[in-house]
Amino acid sequence: MLADLMQFFAVVVLVAIPIYLSNSFALILGGKTYLDFGKNFFDGRPLFGRGKTFRGTTAGIVLGSVGALGVSVFLPGFTTAVGTNYFHYGFLLATGAMLGDIVGSFIKRRIGLPRGESVMLLDQLDFVAGGILLGTILFIPNVWQIAVLAVLTLLMHKLANVIAFNARLKKVPW
């Protein structure tokens, strides 16, 4: 029973590490050239907006993957919970997180919301959904692990955004 519970939460943590690192470092290290090069979609609105940059996306993927590599090197026994090469899995999670966030921005621009405007659940879970979806190539967490990760993310997202706002990394606290 205890071993099963530890295995359950190990998966949640192993999924969260690359996803959270990629999302955080994209925000912290982003800037410069926009992914959409400042171009508008055929509806006249920005494709993704100024919040999605090559530097942020690259930093997110690289540093999320580095986090997975670090866990693989320093805690190799812990990574067996996902039953696959954790570095490769972490790369997919980090890349998927960036893609999920980009898709979230695309959706928000299509419905006419400006950058920084919040959409409940989309803003908080787009990167998690993207990471998990791309990660299914190598490992699929169970529905309860995904639910725990979603609830944890909603709580962490609020806390992280308040911290980023107070550190002047974000213009709005959501």
Residue 158 near residue 105 (C-beta atoms within 8 A): no
d(CA 123, CA 113): 12
So where are the chain's domains? 2-166
| pLDDT of amino acid 84 | 94
In this predicted model, what pLDDT tens digit does every residue of 47-89 receive, in sequence order?
Answer: 998 899 999 999 999 999 999 999 999 999 999 999 999 999 9
pTM confidence score: 0.92
Question: What one-character-per-residue DSSP string does 129-158 give?
Answer: HHHHHHHTTT----HHHHHHHHHHHHHHHH
The CA distances from residue 88 to 65, 73, 146, in Å, are: 8, 13, 20
In this predicted model, what pLDDT tens digit does every residue of 88-102 receive, in sequence order?
Answer: 999 999 999 999 999
